Amino acid sequence: MDTHASSSGHVGRNLDDNPDNFQVVPSTPGSEITEDPILAAATEAALQHRLQEEGEQEPEPFEWPPAILVVAKAVKKLVTPILRVLFAPKAQRTLIKSTAMVIVLLMVLTTSIGAYLTFYRQYVPQTAHIEPIFFQYDQQVEGPTDRIDLTRGQPYTPLRHEQTYDVSVRLHVPTSDINFDLGNFMIRIWLQTSNGSSILHSSRPGILRYQSKTQRIMRVLAKALPLLVGLSEESQTITVPLIEGFMENKAQPVTHAIVSVSTHQLQVYDADLRVIADFHGLRYYMYHRRLVTAIGFVILFTVIEIICAAVAWKFFGQNLWNKVHEALEQMNFEEGGQLHPDDIDNIDHHQQPPNDDDDDDNDEHSKKKDSMIDDAAEAPTTSASTHDH
């Protein structure tokens, strides 16, 4: 015993003297601590949830500058009353009606403009018919001649039978000594139908504007640089009117014209035949006062369309609309099984005329209703007094 005590004391002194020394105590089965599995699972889930929250941290909310917030509040104060007015039921109904009216007016204006354009195209003919002339100098006749096709190969006739035309020939000739020495010359024209028969013939003289040699030399010196560059030339343009106020016969439409010059000595750069419409009356104003006449006709067509639409609605559209409305109400009644009380009141209001007897019955019914309400109010008071007694 003493030996064991001394040895124990010796070991204790050694442990106290050397703090690095430690003693391992083996665990026994009775000393193990048992853990609850449910608590462990809950702890693990809480840890995972915490880790997820730490990993998915929400960014800090964006803060608008104070100046923008002030402006936004001011705009909101200004716009809110307007939006309330615009999105009110009455305003929406008014907006729908106005939109429908605008659409109808746009359709009417579009059809009116289209009608005027169609009328203008059909009523006002082509203003000018200009065809080039190619004189043939190889023919052994009185002078160079050319036959012009006014239809240009089209099946229709170019001229309007109820319209008057002025026919002329334009010649572009050089100011040469030969042309000045030639003096007067004759221009002839024949208007022919498709079968080659002539319905009108005319012949008119032509001549160059006189210029003395001194004037011609001064003109050349004045235009020396453009002449050298090629921007100008020594020439004149002669317009010879041949026919005035020609009106085509509908039974004999003009399809060709023959133009000839009386002499081969005339020098010509180029030439063309001009058939110009001479407008009178309404066509004159439609062509020369286009904007005023267009506005007037568009307004006229619009008024006519509105009148026709009103007459059609009065005699046909209103009855058709009533029938369609009644059919829709009947379909709603058959599908729903019953009408809405407001619809019943509206139908009764439209179908039944007012009657004085009905007013008296309504007054009596209201009086009876008031008396029943008073009796029901007095009944609890009477029962309470009986109980106290």
Q: What is the CATH number of the domain that holds 189?
A: 2.60.120
Same domain, 260 and 286: no
On whether residue 105 sits in a domain, the answer given is no
Residues 149 and 224 in one domain: yes
Long-range (24+ apart) CB contacts under 8 A made by 188-192 are 188/258, 188/259, 188/260, 188/261, 188/262, 189/242, 189/243, 189/257, 189/258, 189/259, 189/273, 190/257, 190/258, 191/167, 191/243, 191/246, 191/254, 191/256, 191/257, 192/254, 192/255, 192/256, 192/257, 192/258
Same domain, 273 and 287: no
| Residue 134 shares a structural domain with residue 183 | yes
Read off the pLDDT of residues 318-357 as tens digits, 9 standing for 90 and up. 787 778 778 777 776 666 554 444 444 444 444 444 444 4
The answer to whether position 234 is within a domain reads yes
Do residues 137 and 244 lie in contact, with contact meaning Cβ atoms separated by under 8 Å?
no
pLDDT band at 292 (very low <50, low <70, confident <90, very high): very high
Looking at mean pLDDT, say which of 7-16, 34-43, 248-257 comes out highest: 248-257
Establish if 359 belongs to a structural domain.
no
Would the pLDDT of 141 be above 80? Answer: no
Q: Could you give the number of structural domains in the chain?
A: 3
Full domain range(s) for residue 294 = 281-313
Residue 211 is predicted with a pLDDT of: 83
Classify residue 321: in a domain, yes or no.
no
Where does 86-127 show beta strands of DSSP type E?
A: none
Cα–Cα dist 218/236, whole Å: 16
Distances (CA, A) of 93 to 79, 103, 104, 224: 20, 15, 17, 78
* Closest by Cα among 307, 309, 295, 245 to 120: 295
Q: What is the pLDDT averaged over residues 118-135? A: 91
305 and 235 in a common domain? no
Cα 128 to Cα 278: distance, rounded to the nearest angstrom: 10
Specify whether 232 is located in the same domain as 202: yes
The confidence score (pLDDT) of residue 227 equals 81
% the chain with pLDDT above 90:
29
Q: Identify the pLDDT of residue 40.
A: 73
- What pLDDT shows up at residue 315? 83
Higher pLDDT: 148 or 223? It is 148
End residue of a domain, out of 264, 296, 313: 313
Is 2 domain-assigned? no
Q: Are residues 132 and 273 in the same domain?
A: yes
Note the pLDDT of residue 213. Answer: 83
CA 91 from centroid of its chain's CA atoms: 25
Distance of CA 133 to the CA centre of its chain: 47
Q: What is the pLDDT of residue 230?
A: 78
pLDDT of res. 67? 85
- Same domain, yes or no: 164 and 267: yes
Per-residue pLDDT for 11 more than 70?
A: no
User: Is residue 259, in this structure, part of any structural domain at all?
Assistant: yes
Do 94 and 219 belong to one domain?
A: no
Q: Quick one: 185 and 268 in the same domain?
A: yes
Assess if residue 236 is contained within a domain.
Answer: yes
- Tell me which of 234, 258, 278 is where a domain ends: 278
> Does any domain span residue 48?
no
Which of 273, 272, 282, 256 minimizes the C-alpha distance to 125?
Answer: 282
The DSSP element (H or E) to which 5 belongs, if any, is: helix 2-17
Amino acid, single-letter form, for residue 246: F
Q: pTM here?
A: 0.56
Report the distance separating Cα 332 and Cα 23, nearest Å: 97
Confidence label for 188 from pLDDT (cuts 50, 70 and 90): very high
Q: Do 90 and 171 sit in the same domain of this protein?
A: no
Q: Are residues 173 and 291 in the same domain?
A: no
